[in-house]
Structures are given as structure tokens and as C-alpha cells.
Amino acid sequence: MKILQLIVVIIAIFQHAQAVADDEFILSDSGLEDELLFQDIPSVYGASKYEQKVTKAPASVSIVTADEIQKYGYRTFAEILSSLKGFYTTNDRNYGFAGVRGFGLPSDYNTRLLLLIDGHRFNDNIYDAFDITAGFPVDIDIIERVEVVRGPASSIYGTNAFFGVINVITRRGRDQGGANVTASYGSFDTYKTRVSYGDRYDNGLEMFLSGTFYDSHGNRRLYYREFDDPATNNGIASNNDEERARNLMGTISFGNFTLQALHNKRNKHIPTASFGTVFNQKPSKTADQSTYVELKYANTFSNQLNLESRVSYNHYRYDGRYNFDYSEDEEPFIVTNKDFSLGQWWRGEVQATKLLWNDHKVTAGGEFQHNFDQRQKNYDLEVYTDIDKKTSRWGIFIQDEYSFNDKLTINAGVRLDYFNTFGETVNPRGGIIYNPWSDTAIKLLYGTAFRAPTQFEMFYHDGGITTLPNPNLTPEKLQTAELILEKYFTSRVRGELNFFYSEIKDLISITSTTDGLLQNNNIGEAESIGAEVQLEANYTNGFQGRISYSVQETTNKMTNERLTNSPAHMIKLNLIAPLWADKIFAGLETQYMSSRKSPVGGKVSDHVITNLTLFNQNWINGLELSAGLYNLFDESFFHPGSEEHTQVGILQNGRTFRIRASIDF
């Protein structure tokens, strides 16, 4: 049935693509070359810390635009990432996690990806984490563009830039040009309302303000066969999946200065009885909130020197309430264990970019982060953990993009980082980018990266109830080699083929001890070898489409076994089709993922998910309407659990819907 669904969708896509292609003007070879020289090839900032064409970037880059977000009906950042080649996501019904190229260890809190919000480093100073569900810091409806840069980038960003860098570029005042109200309603009594205002004034002042309220009752009935017993409601978790989130964001720019502030808070009930908590009784829950205020200065001087600096205050707070049964007989004795983390830090960055001798584009910079508050506490009837740390780190880097001629470019850089917890580390990156023709790029890349162990991984424990600390953790180290072939077959059709090999040493993962407790450990070495191929089309009449296939073999080198939560194959199909001029569009995507191992034994099966959205614009000036069906064929599928779960797999939602309306004033 899964393969049949896939075949039907593939046939539909290619039939429509052929019909559109037949209507397109076909360029001659010489005409194509001329057009490619002048067409607007997308630019990316996150690959090198300055704007450059994606064909010159030393990485495989994906860009998702605001238009795609609306027409595909994406509801969360996880859905955006899931649509991209090589990426996949996992949801344990508390947090969302991103995997890439076969690396997606359950409950790693996304520490191996660096998240930037308009260039601001967002990962916190306790878990080095971010959420990709309703807890994502930015309402996805105010995202103008998402840049996803694959591969190691510690040579310019330091820790967390392990498997990739994600730069989220938000809406500006000029993009809004007034007020906007957006509201949506969906399955499980899910409501979201956003109010935004933005403009750019004649005196040069530009501002954008936005606030979002999100509330969902969640899935009212979730079945877990591991708890199928009369004493635990026959495995049914009832009304334990509630979620609520708030987002506030403001950006004010004047001249060369930009002040940006962000605050988000999210509360989530946990229906899975993780960490051995009671099942289907008083719900355990988590609450996360993040805040930052950043002042940025950016200026390009008359001598073409570009100078950019940032200074920011950052705050993160986590509160967990986990309900355990401490009884030693049949009479329940429910105790709420309280888990608390508080992180505060300030951060400063400066960098300069200058074109030297007409063929060297040199970027150099440095940053310093002082973590003046890193608290973790766990207690109920007694205090198990009470940690208060203060740490600091700094890094300096230099990078050179050297163009021999129009066809050959070399990009090389190196960075030195120092942590007062474990010392220094040096990470280089280099790439050769060859353009034999104007429509073709060949990239040969090599880079290393590191991920520092987090405060949570090293020091957290709860007195031996479920977890133990490990202050002897060492940083993870990564090296990757990659070959990328990019080709424009016509001015509207582009193909990309990637081959990559990655090796990780001192991989950190949560494991079970001989006493059945959980502890983070450097579990040894892992490697991944794979390939990705993608064909994408973007026609002037509104048709867009892409198809990608990813294959990867990701194994533990000590045991030669595949890592947990690591799919061998992924196929993704995306199509935006105009149904009526520029007014009604259909957004269709289908994703196939092969089976994945679970860390608690067994595996979850392969699955095919199809989503369909109808999007309307331009009927009434400023009004947008959309309606989406997700998991269209009501596929029953699971994501792997993690070490803190009893379940082999965590059941995901069946068919759901959302309707949405947005109006500008």
C-alpha cells in the first residue's frame, strides 16, 4: 500500500510537470548560458557569514521561502525540516528532534545543529538545545526565509555547528507594510492567533512587532501497548497531550543599528510516562521559556570593508514536573519530582569582511560568551541535585575565499575555540569550487567540527533515581568529506548530486548502566557514508516541484551496527501547482522513510506520509485562506522512543486538518 501511494503521487507529479514544461519557452544552449549569467541565483548568508550565491557556497544549501511555507501549509518548523533532502524529525510527544544524514540519536535535544535567528546564536547554555515543534522560538508565519547549510561549520561558528547550520531570517517592517491578523484552527481543538505590525518610515526608522498565542488540547486518546493492563487504563493515555505556547518578537532598525528582542514560552503535558513516571494519572509536564535582547551594528564603508558586531543578553528557563509512585505496597503514593534549570549569559561578536587584491575575500572575527548563571536543581521529598556553575568560552576565526578566475574558487578557514571547562580545540574547513560551465558547479569539501559536552550532560543527576552525572565527558569530534555536483539543465530546472563520508569520535549518547540508570557517555566512534540526489523545477507560471532521494549507512564502528533512529532510505516529493491563475494553489508533499532501530530494542516500520494544502490569495486584497490535510491516507506510524521510554515506538498522529486565514490592514 505504501509503494502504491508513492507510485500514484509520482505519476501525478510528473504528468503535471510535463504539461507545464510543454508550455514553457525552451532556451537554446547559448540562450541558457546568457540567462544564467544574469538570473537571480539565490544567495545565502549562513555558509560563510556573508552573502554569497549558493553556487559559490562551500556547502550543500537548501532555502525555504515564505511563499513555500504558506503554500505547503507548514505548521511547525519540524515540518519545514522534514521536507528537505537528508533531514528527518522525531517527536516523543514532549519535544521535537532533527536528524540529518542518518544521525538523529533520540532525545539529543538538537545539540548537533546550530540555530541562528537573523544571525543570532540561539542554542541555550544548559542543554545547547532548541525545540522544533510549538516551542520553536519564532512563529513560522513571520519567517521570510530559512537557510539550511549542511556539513561541519565549526571553522566559523564553533560548537554545535556539527552537522549543519540553520539560519532563520524573519520578516522586516518593509515586508509587512502595516498590520496583519492571522488565525487558524485544526484537529485536537488547536487554535493559533497572531497579530503583527511593521513598516519602514520616511526618516529611515524600520520596525516589526509580532505576538502569537497557540493552544492545543492534543490527542485525547493515545494507545501504548507496553502499558496495556487494567491497572494502567489498558494502555490508553486520556487527555494527557495538552500544549500551549506564546511568542513575542520585536525588531527596530535605524541607520546601521538593529535592536531585536524575542521571548517565547511553551508548556507541554507528557502522555508517554517517560522516566518511569505514572501512566495516565496526574500528567507530568514541562515548561520552557527563552528570551534574548540583541543590539547589532553593521556597516559597509567606502573602501568596501564590511564590519558587523553584536552584543546580547540571553535567558533560558526550564521547569519540569514529573509524577512518580513512591509507594512500596499497593496503595499509591504519588510524589511530584521538580526539575529546574536556569541559564543566563551575555555574548559579544565582531567580524570584518574585505576584498583584498581583487581576488581574496577575507573574513575574520571573534566572539566571547560568559555564562554567569548555569543552575540545575532536582528535588521532591529531598534535594537530589543543586548545581550552580559559571563558565566562559571564546573563539577566533579567519576565512579566505580566493578566486583564481571565473571558473575556480578556493574557500578555506580555521577557528580556535577555548572553553574553561576542557581547554582548546582547532577546526579547519576547506573547499574547491569549480565551474567548468556557467550552468555547472563541482564542489569538493572537507571540514572538521566539534560539539562541547553540555552542562546537562556532564553534571545533571537526580540522586540515582533515574540518572547519573558524568563530569568526565569529552567533546565530540567530526570530520566530513563531500563531493557536490550542481547542474542547471534549463534555466528553470536544477539538479544536485552529493556524496559524503562522515566520521565521529567520542560520540555522546544517553545509555543504560548495569543498574538500569541513565547516563551520558562517550560511546565510541560512528561513521556515515551516503548519497543524496535532488531534481527541482521552478517555472514562471507558479509551478514548483522537487524530488529527492537519500541513502545513508550510519553505523557504530565498535559494533558495526546501525545507529538507532537512523533510516537507510528517504524519498521526498514536493509540488506546488497553480489551479487558477495566481489565486488558488495546491501544495502536495509525500515522504517515504525506511524503518529505524529503537534504543530500547526492536524497530519502527517504514512509512509514507502525504500532506495536501489548498492556498488562496488575491481574491480580496490582503486576504489569504488555506486548508490542509496532513497524513492524508491516515497512515499509522511511529517514531523511535528513547532510553527514558518504555515504548519501542511513540505513536504519531493520524489524519489531521487545519484551516487558516490571514488579512493585512
Residue 5 — pLDDT band, cuts 50, 70, 90?
Answer: low
Give the integer Cα–Cα distance in Å for 489 and 86: 22
Determine the pLDDT at residue 523. 79
Determine the pLDDT at residue 516. 78
CB atoms within 10 A of CB 623: 13
- Are 496 and 60 a contacting pair, CB within 8 Å? yes
Instruction: Please calculate the CA angle 114-119-122 and round it to the nearest 5 degrees.
Output: 45
CB atoms within 10 A of CB 451: 26
pTM of the shown model: 0.93
CA-to-CA separations, 486 to 47, 164, 250, 436, 573, in angstroms, rounded: 16, 19, 38, 11, 19
Residue pLDDT, tens place only, 440-485: 999 999 999 999 999 998 888 877 777 788 888 889 999 999 999 9
Whether residue 16 has pLDDT greater than 60: no
Residue pLDDT, tens place only, 193-234: 999 999 999 999 999 999 999 999 999 999 999 999 998 999
Determine the pLDDT at residue 365. 97
Residue pLDDT, tens place only, 587-612: 999 999 999 999 888 999 999 999 99
Give the integer Cα–Cα distance in Å for 432 and 532: 19
Whether residue 39 has pLDDT greater than 80: no
The pLDDT > 90 percentage for the chain reads 76
How many CA atoms lie within 13 Å of 564's alpha carbon, on the beta-carbon side? 22
Where do we find the cell 507529479?
13
Whether residue 366 has pLDDT greater than 60: yes
Determine the pLDDT at residue 22. 46
The pLDDT > 70 percentage for the chain reads 94
Determine the pLDDT at residue 40. 63
Determine the pLDDT at residue 20. 46
- Are 611 and 628 a contacting pair, CB within 8 Å? yes
Residues 272, 277, 279, 281: what is their CA dihedral angle, to the nearest 10 degrees?
A: -120
> What's the average model confidence in pLDDT over 80-101?
96
3-state helix, strand, coil split of the chain in percent (to 5) is 10, 55, 35
> What's the average model confidence in pLDDT over 29-54?
68
Determine the pLDDT at residue 157. 97
* β-sheet bridge partners, residue 467: 518
Who contacts 537 (Cβ-Cβ below 8 Å, separation ≥6)?
17, 21, 492, 493, 494, 543, 544, 545, 546
Among residues 610, 595, 608, 607, the alpha carbon closest in space to that of 648 is found at: 595
Residue pLDDT, tens place only, 631-663: 999 999 999 998 889 999 999 999 999 999 999
> What's the average model confidence in pLDDT over 410-429?
95
Count, in order, helices (H) and strands (E) of the chain: 7, 41
Who contacts 363 (Cβ-Cβ below 8 Å, separation ≥6)?
48, 49, 50, 156, 351, 352, 353, 397, 398, 399, 400, 401, 413
> What's the average model confidence in pLDDT over 396-413?
94
Whether residue 621 has pLDDT greater than 80: yes
